Structure 1
Amino acid sequence: MTTATDPSPSLIQRLRGLSTEVIKFGIIGVVGLVVNAGVFWACLQGQGLVKSLSGVIATAVAIGTNYLGYRYWLYRDRDAASRKREITLFLIFSGIGLLIENGILAFSVHVLGYTSSASQLVAKNVVGLIAGTVFRFFSYRTWVFKALPELADGEEVVSEAELLLAEQAPAPKAEAKA
């Protein structure tokens, strides 16, 4: 009597894989925070426009650093067929995460009336950061850095570009009967 084995991973195996992904995501996030703080501090030492835009400059550099970490370390085995699409989605979801963080801050100040520096720090850098990070984690892994489909034995990976070329190729002409 033979038994068939289920090719899909068990819940425990999936959770182990997810926990590793969460840890790596967190490491990249911490690196991004350090880069953000360092660039912010360096820009504050400058003058004029650099000092005025220090928050924007620091966030942009941190987003770029995070993208490199996600693409070349955490999600290096994921589909990279369309970098333009990937980068566009990454920037969109990073922006939404930024809005979530600052939206929580605005809600705590303007609706709840928490105006002290300590309460604003907690709202933005604890509650907002956690909510924004959870959003980014699931959006990046679901839409930005998409997993490659599982392949059966003998199948090969075909990129989106190859599929488009195949669709645009002229169909073979039927031979005329004599």
Structure 2
Amino acid sequence: MKTLITQLIKFGLVGVVALVIDMGILNLLVGLFHMHNVLAGSISFLISLAFNYVASMRYVFTHRSDMARWMEMAIFFISAAVGLFINDAIIWMSTFGMNHDAMITQHSQYWIRTNIGKLVAAVVVAVWNFVIRKWLLDDKRTDAVNRLRPRSRRLTQPELDERWERSFAHRLGEWSLDHTPRGWPR
């Protein structure tokens, strides 16, 4: 339980810094340059994603010895692409129905609605990212959820190891090691 809470706190701190970067760039592009909110949201999301990747892999999630680094990066960037789609869809919906030139003619309302949409998108994407990364990138042999069970119903370490061996995440990791091109880091 303690490690899950610690991981959630680290994930949250990295996410807050990434959100500050994302919101700052979004507001600069929409507020100062009157850029379309979806384009500005995409640019700001991708810039904050670079920070998020480095910080998440360094401070939040640990490298798994049973998964190749290329697979970790592929999972991160595929989940980020889905996150970008979610982000852009929510930002687009936030100003849906406004004039096509609302970024200029209704600038204040456009800016406020864009920021509300961005905040909603940030929450939805953060949940998506944590769930997918926890499922596929994090080593589950310690299974923090097991510690939440009553002592009489907790799985033993051999049972946790057996569950881990059968898990999709472990099988995907093993597959990635078997299919890593020569010379690539494992």
Which TM-score bucket, shorter chain as reference?
0.5 to 0.7
User: Normalization by structure 2: what TM-score?
Assistant: 0.56
User: In percent, how many aligned pairs have the same letter?
Assistant: 24
Task: Give the counterpart of 2:81 among 69, 83, 95.
Answer: 95
SS at match of 2:95: helix
User: Normalization by structure 1: what TM-score?
Assistant: 0.58
Give unpaired runs (5+ residues) of structure 1. 1-12, 44-52, 166-178
Give unpaired runs (5+ residues) of structure 2. 30-38, 143-156, 162-169, 180-186
**In 2 relative to 1, CA 29–79 (structure 1 residues): closer, same or farther, beyond 3 Å?**
farther
| Per-residue deviation, 1:123 | 1.4
- The number of residues matched between the two structures is 137
Task: Give the counterpart of 1:131 among 114, 124, 128.
Answer: 124
Greater relative contact order structure (CA < 8 Å, 6+ sep): 2
**In 2 relative to 1, CA 17–111 (structure 1 residues): closer, same or farther, beyond 3 Å?**
farther
SS at match of 1:94: helix
Given that 1:79 and 1:146 are in contact with CA atoms closer than 8 Å, whether structure 2 keeps it comes out as: no
1:152-163 to 2 correspondences below 5 Å: 152=158, 160=174
Separation in 1 of the partners of 2:66 and 2:46?
Answer: 22
1:69-88 to 2 correspondences below 5 Å: 69-76=55-62, 78-79=64-65, 81-88=67-74
Separation in 2 of the partners of 1:56 and 1:103?
Answer: 10
2:123 is matched by which residue type in structure 1? I
Given that 1:24 and 1:74 are in contact with CA atoms closer than 8 Å, whether structure 2 keeps it comes out as: yes
Task: Give the counterpart of 2:116 among 122, 144, 158.
Answer: 122
RMSD over aligned Cα, in angstroms? 4.0
